[in-house]
Structure 1
Amino acid sequence: MDSQFLSRYDLKDFLLSLPSGDLYKAIDIKFKRNVLIKIVDLSNIKEISDIENVKNRFNRYVNNALKLIHPNIVNILDYHIDESNKCYTVTEFFNINESIFSKEMLFDMSFNTKLKIATSLVEAMEFAHSIKILHQNLYIDSIFFAGDNIKIDNFDLKRYLAKNSLISELGIYSNPPPYIPPEYISSYEPSVYGDIFQIGCILYFIFCREHPFGDTINDEAILRIKNLDYIDPTYYSDVEIDIAKIINRAMMKKPSERFETVNQFFIELKKIIEKLKDKKYDISTYRFFIQNNRMFIQTNPTASIDISELENRLLNENIYNYDLERIQEAIHISNGDPIEIGEIFKKIDSVIFNCFDISVSDDQMECYLKKLTPKKLDPKEILFYLKKKNIRYGYIKENINELAEDAEGSIRLVARGTEPIRGEDAYLVFFFEPENKYKPKEDEEGNVDFRNISVIQQVDKGDPLVIKVPATKGIDGYNVFGNIIKATPGNDVKLPTGKNVYLSSDGLKILSTTDGIVNYDNGKVNVIEMIIIDGDVNFSTGNINYKGDVLIRGDVLPDFKVFAGGDIKIRGVVEGAFIESERGSITISSGIFGKNQTKIKALKNIKADFVQDAELLAGETVEIANYTRNSKVFCKSFLSYKGMGAVQSSLIEATRLIDINIAGAKNYTKTTLYINQLNKNNLKLQIQDIMEKLDTISKSINQVKLQIKKIIVSSGSMENAILDTEYKACVEKLKKLDNLNLVLQEKLQSLQDDMNFILSEQKEMIIIRRYLYSDVKIRIGSALKITKEEYETRVVITKDENDELIFGSAISK
């Protein structure tokens, strides 16, 4: 491209090759729109005279195409020939890769859409002919289906036969299905008749979904074109007879026998459209007729045909060689046109009725024939005889075939009924372990962890708990007369519904009404919202991991873990264990013996009678009634004054308040009371970070909900969707996102409370209500003091503007 042309068009992806050039997607920068650009590269042509000839053809092609302003003809917007002998054509944009005609596309296309395409094609060609422009190469690669419309391309661009392909005037090879008019094979004199022939070929493909002379150009296809050897479109059952007539006329071998003008073609199509508006059938229900030495059926597709009545008619007329399956299929696919159903009907010789002795067992489940003639018979004659005798089921065709060849006196079992099959009993499928067997988990090496035992079986709201596989009706049997022998249905079973569950609308599923723990008690399925452990957390229970609230009425023994999404309440002691509440608070009535391995963590509050040798982390307040020894505590406010309230050999780190009775001890113990002052800028950053995460989570939640909705719609109902694997994965993901959203919302609220605390200019403080021993490290922000004396009264410690600690209401001993 030269600089001016290049600056306007930004060339993008290569799409495909056409007879008029290699096609690319491009952007017209000037008008900010998508366009299509075709490129013909002449740089490989050696002779200058040849290059000039092709350029002249290109200019003729473009100049004629520019005259073709029609909605069904590809619109040329611009063209150019650059100094490197490349020719460019810029056309309107449409998604060409999705617009290529194919058999698959036509298979799903309605008749009315096909008729609209045919009309648009002929109308566009009529316009071109009206301004004296022939197409000359109307193959399927020149027509595109864009939206509800068509686009025709490559007008006035001759293509010539070159071995097993075509070559265009611009030197580009292609191999479309062969729509070559017969007169173009021996010599090329373009005419209206040639365009009409190719229109006929395209309509043949549209309505018959096959190319008339094969899929590719080869010697066989050329011979078929010369002989005009193609399957008549009337043989296709879904082609209207009037459509077939105009296709045949367009494709006549002699040009003079075709339509004289495209306008005539267009008028005939319009007549068909008008006629089909009020189409009526001149047959009542069905009729048989012979055509080309084959039997056809023509039916009224709006009528109901009794196939038994139809067969009885054939039997009454002694016709024995009909193919009932083909007749049924023809009726099923009928659109009113004749459909071939086999060979010409033949009537049976009445002598056949004297050729057999028939016997049926007492239970009517077996039929035997004895042959009374030595001559060979047609198996169809034997089958006809059986039907005349009302033997309509269970034919043993191999025995019938053998009997036809057998000698006189032979006896064969020719039909056998089928016994009914009893239905299967209904049964229940549990989605949890109903016996609640305690099973320790094994790792890949076979090691058993007795702390992780599957005791708690958690479920979420809407989860399926039990599904009933219904009893089957059984399979009916038939005797040789075709009479039904009813099957015995299987026994039913009742779904064991209990508390906090409900039955699905189809009555086949038990689902949970809430999040909780599922159990099977006294033959009932129940869901319990809170876990209650009626004793200790030990090897009999294993670790506890639950999304809701947990109540433990005993102790938590060493090395065990309790994790809950909600609140945790422990009536006993915690000894060397790990306890965490993801969204709630923790209350330990009898205290904590940490053994230097216990960690207690809560998003909100922690409350205990005492704590020793442990680490506590709370998002809000930690309250210890009696004493805190050899421990670390991190929180916003630490309270220990309702009981003994002693803090000894421990680190207490809070952001707002430490309020206790006693700090330190007589013998030297390393006790630190530290107010870690909040930083406004850090809080802003943390708040911003959490809000960004919440925004991301919100978008993810919406995406997952949309996917869940699609699955429900495709499944037909919510109750069907819950059994879908992808649905379960999406729901699980949504629950995790919802839970994370709740946790982050709580953290955001906590940070905003901290910011409000700073903005309110409240003072952080440490309060010792009864006794402050020496060697206690007191720190607020960067201000630090280690006490050198003891205080036996209330001490309130704050920090002044000079970053100095102020001990108020203090009397030293």
Structure 2
Amino acid sequence: MEGIGNYRLEVKISADKLEAEIFLKVGEEDLESIVLKESDVYNALQTSKVKAGILEEVVQELCAIPAKYANARVTIARGVAPVDGTDAFIEYPYLATVSDEEGPKELEDGRVDFYNITSIPNVVKGQLLARKIPATPGTPGTAVTGEPIAPKAGKEINIKPGKNVVHNQERTMLYAAIDGQVSFTDQDKLNVFPVFEVNGDVDFGVGNIDFVGTVVIRGNVLNGFRVKASGDIRVLGSVEGAELYADGSIEIKSGIVAQDKGMIVAGKDIRTSFIQNANVTAGHQVIVSQSIMFSTVRAGKQIICKGPKGIIIGGVLQAGEKIAARVFGNNSATPTVLEVGVKPELRQELANIQKDLQNVYENLRKTDQGLGVLNQILHSGKELTTEKRIMQIKLTNTRLVLEKECKELEARKKELEIELKGEGPAAVEVYQVMYPGIKLTFGKLVHFIKHEYARTRFIVLDGEISTATLI
């Protein structure tokens, strides 16, 4: 604050140092007699260490018409904000050669090909698969005090080569080491796997399949058969009560009718037209175009069913981030459980830990009971036989092991319970209607649907399950 004659000039710098304001403090009796010089303003700014971004036109107007700005704050200097850097990202040039068109194609003679509906995108040895675009550092800004303001640098990202993939010396590009099909597996590693094709059904003529690569089945997978792949599994027909395990993704064109048999597990995504009476687990997403009926479906991130029909009825669905469909349930209030807000495997791990803890507690009880009997013998003044001394040593060691195991399990249980509180960004989205009979679970928060909801998003807000209308 600087006093000059019958007025005072106060300069205030913003917290981010990108703006300075000046306040011309004048008494009512001195309003008409103010004479303010530009040198006085610059001196006040210099005293407050304002050196850069001074708005000369504001200084001039302030001095020309001081009564206009009396007892009011006016911006007198503006700095230059830093420009944050951009995050690194990865481009996938091979995707440019993959067609998004699906469905039957018309042949030259006018007939429609209903058999070769899906083309399998392959890459060749030496083909560029991924290119890392590095993060940028950003551009520094300037504070009104003249100091540089450092920008926020962009986040770097690691390019992750998997099997049959090589990178350049700088580790910025990935190339295919063999001919095959691209597959993303755990932690978004990019792989190229050889392709094993079955030109019909997986039946007694083919048998079970266990292939270190990607498996393409141009028919159906029948009851009781098993297909395992370290890459992806693509089925152009349907899957019955079979077992499918893929480290990558699983795509089933004609749907799953499992009759409560078998299991389908993918490390990344599962895509299909419908799921009925099946047990399905995906590390990332389950994407269904038509319906999910009376099934157990788990996804580390999302379960999406929003095609033209997009209906979910019955069963238990668990997703870490979101469950979305056009229609949930039916007029008959068929019980349907929707659980979001935590990865399903965490929920299962917690259940396993609670079971293990019960066993540990029971074993500790029995161990303490045995040691108690031996201690009673010692307290009575009797000596323990050799056999009982050996038993005492064994029980003491067992107790130490059980105590350690108990502490580890209890610590992990606490960690899981914190993650299960439902505080994460999770949602259930209804694009058309949700009928009564639905049980919503966000971590440990539970809500039973007792009336119809139309176009609604269910989220956790301030520790409670709340609703918002979808636009």
TM-score by length of 1: 0.25
By percentage of residues, which structure has more helix?
1
Greater Cα radius of gyration, structure 1 or 2 = 1
Q: Which has the higher contact order (CA 8 A, sep 6+)?
A: 2
By percentage of residues, which structure has more strand?
2
TM-score by length of 2: 0.42
